[in-house]
Amino acid sequence: MNKGQKVNIEKEKCKSCGYCIHFCNKGNLSLSKAVNTRGYLYIEFNDKENKCNSCALCALMCPEAAIEVYKEEKK
């Protein structure tokens, strides 16, 4: 995981249900083009525009507990 990244997804746990994509209103999550070892397209976190606000809705909605969200450190 990159330093400062707010969302970490364990791709091997992902079952490609898409709930997290649906609930992220910042559009930070998308399906990969590759599959994990179980054959599922997994989720990738992309926050090039720094829109993620660590709301953690994605983690809350994930039935596989594949997502961890970190709060931004206060400076």
Q: Does 32 bind ligand SF4 (CB under 6 A)?
A: no
Q: Which of 30, 68, 69, 70 binds ligand SF4 (CB under 6 A)?
A: 69
The CB-of-36 to ligand SF4 minimum distance in angstroms stands at: 9
Q: In sequence order, what are the residues at sequence separation of 6 or more whose Cβ sits closer than 8 angstroms to the Cβ of residue 60?
A: 23
Contact 31, 21 (CB under 8 A): yes
Determine if 44 is a binding residue for ligand SF4 (CB under 6 A): no
Q: Partners of 44 in the beta sheet?
A: 30
Please check whether residue 52 is in contact with residue 27, taking contact to mean a CB–CB distance below 8 angstroms. no
User: What is the binding site for ligand SF4 (CB under 6 A)?
Assistant: 7, 9, 14-20, 23-24, 26, 28-29, 43, 52-58, 61-62, 64, 66-67, 69
